[in-house]
Amino acid sequence: MSIHSEPSATARVGFEPETRVIPLSAILPLKALRPTTKQSQKYRQIAASIRTVGLVECPAVVPNARKRGTYFLLDGLLRLEVIKDLGWPEVECLISTDDEAYTYNKRISRLASVQEHKMIVRAVERGVSEERIAEALDLEVETIRRRFRLLDGICPEVVEQLADKPCPMLVFDMLKHMKPLRQMEAAELMVGQRNYSSPFIRTILAATPAEQLVAPTAQQKEHDVTREQIVRLERELEAVQMRTKYVEDTYGEDNLQLTIAKSFLAKWLKNPRITRWLATNQPEYLAEFQDITEINSLTEATGKRLHDAG
């Protein structure tokens, strides 16, 4: 029996080859801006970047099939709000051929600390001043300098392990107090537990033996950790591991329920009438439904919930 492979189908183009300049009044957001968003650091950074260097990434829109000349916004809500605040009458946009707005953000990767460090280093090497970078990111110049020196004293193996992980700068500050072998052990613990929080790295540092510290005397004096505190920290870590085991045991059933809920909501949100009604009458529900359909796993769902709570 011979097997003949069929010719592969032509890949579908996700965007039109040319951008369009569209009046702001013709762009219809599908998500409502939360009342506190404009006070957030992320919003201020986007505003500072657009004021300083202009619009780097165009918003993505899809034509509204029901009303010619109007567009639904798929990505770029914060950029659009900043542009409105700056008084721009129009904006250059990417035109999507896919109207599945609720899946668009799946394709976006957030910048990790190590990646941000490399971006700043590259900008400085190309002659951009620290002051201009700070202005574009709405940060203090000293913060830019700290991020520039982020990996000083961190062994290459740890840099590779944490390159794409959501570690705050404090993680690297704490790691610098440890010798390379202990740094690798700490990184493995964080990756294994999927916990990159400041309290967790402080716990690891506090439980590090003096001989595995770069400056044991100064470090011990700084933290002044008693044996009782170490025992308590060990008990707390054991409790975390037990909770992790429980989650692993119930993961299959919970993941099935998540998959069913995602499929139901995804089918629901494909209906433009439902999406428009939610955007007008229950925007907070629409935002939550869209967030659920963008979740890839229970781990991601838990991490997002903890991030929102923090």
Domain annotation covers residue 12: no
pLDDT above 90 for 247: no
Determine, yes or no, domain membership for 289.
yes
Report the share of the chain in percent with pLDDT over 70.
Answer: 73
Q: Which two tokens stand for residue 148?
A: 């520039």
Residue 244 pLDDT class (50, 70, 90 cuts): low
CA 112 from centroid of its chain's CA atoms: 8
Given a contact cutoff of 8 angstroms between Cβ atoms, the answer to whether 158 and 166 are in contact is: no
Residue 307 has a CB neighbour count (10 Å cut-off) of 9
Looking at the fold, whether 95 and 164 belong to one and the same domain comes out as: no
Strands of the sheet with 27-29, listed across from one edge: 20-23, 90-95, 60-63, 71-75, 27-29
- Identity at 35, one-letter amino acid code: P
What one-character DSSP code corresponds to residue 20? E
Asked if residue 273 is part of any domain, the answer here is: yes
Looking at 149-223, list the stretches that DSSP marks H as alpha helix, in order from N- to C-terminal side: 156-161, 169-175, 180-193, 198-206, 216-223
Look at phi and psi of residue 118 and say left if phi exceeds 0, alpha if psi is from -120 to 50, else beta: alpha
Residue range 75-100: mean pLDDT, rounded: 86
Asked whether residue 138 carries a pLDDT value surpassing 90, the answer given is no
State the amino acid at position 179 in one-letter form: K
Q: Mind listing the pLDDT tens digit for each residue in 3-44?
A: 444 444 455 666 788 889 999 999 998 877 887 888 887 888
pLDDT at 156: 92
Q: Find tokens 């629901």 and name the residue.
A: 268
Give the model confidence (pLDDT) of 179-217 as tens digits.
999 999 899 888 887 888 888 888 888 888 888 888 865
In a domain, 282, yes or no: yes
For the chain, the domain total comes to 3
β-sheet bridge partners, residue 15: 96
User: What tokens appear for 136 in the block?
Assistant: 């574009």
Cα–Cα dist 66/45, whole Å: 35
Strand-pair partners of 60: 75, 94
Domain stop point among 209, 225, 241: 225
Confidence of residue 177 (pLDDT cuts 50, 70, 90): very high
pLDDT given for residue 99 in this prediction: 57
User: Could you tell me the two tokens for 98?
Assistant: 């896919």
Boundary of a domain, candidates 40, 74, 107? 107
Mean pLDDT, the chain, rounded, equals 77
- Provide CB contacts within 8 A for 259, sequence distance 6+: none
At 267, the pLDDT band (50, 70, 90 cuts) reads confident
Question: pLDDT of 34-52, one tens digit each?
Answer: 878 888 878 888 888 888 7
Q: What is the pLDDT confidence band of residue 157, given thresholds at 50, 70 and 90?
A: very high
Q: Can you tell me the mean pLDDT for 149-154?
A: 90
Does pLDDT of 60 surpass 70?
yes
Q: Is residue 24 located within the same domain as residue 102?
A: yes
Q: What is the pLDDT of residues 62-71, one digit of tens each?
A: 898 888 899 9
Q: What's the predicted TM-score (pTM) here?
A: 0.48
Q: In the block, which residue shows the tokens 């009046």?
A: 23
Indicate if 83 and 162 belong to the same structural domain. no
Contacts 24+ apart (CB under 8 A), 213-221: 213/177, 213/178, 213/179, 213/182, 214/153, 214/176, 214/177, 214/178, 214/179, 215/177, 219/177
Find the domain containing 167 and state its range: 156-225
Is 189 a member of any domain?
A: yes
Residue 24: what residue type? L
Instruction: For residues 105 and 12, give the distance between their C-alpha atoms in angstroms, rounded to a whole number.
Output: 19
| Least confident residue range of 16-25, 135-144, 161-170 | 135-144
- CATH number of the domain that residue 41 is part of: 3.90.1530.10
Q: Which of 141, 143, 186, 145 is nearest to 167 (CA)?
A: 186
The helix or strand, by DSSP H or E, that contains position 251, with its residue range, turns out to be helix 227-269
- 178 lies in a domain? yes
Tokens of 221: 């004096």
Are 210 and 169 contained in the same domain? yes
Residue 146 placed within a domain: no
The 10s digit of each residue's pLDDT in 272-301 is 888 888 888 888 888 888 888 777 655 555
Please tell me the distance from the alpha carbon of residue 255 to that of residue 35, in angstroms, as a whole number: 32
Q: Which residues contact 219 (CB under 8 A, 6 or more apart)?
A: 177, 205, 210, 213
At residue 264, the pLDDT reads 80
Contact status, residue 183 vs residue 172, Cβ threshold 8 Å = no
Q: Is residue 237 part of a domain?
A: no
Cα 142 versus chain centre, distance: 23
pLDDT higher than 90, residue 271: no
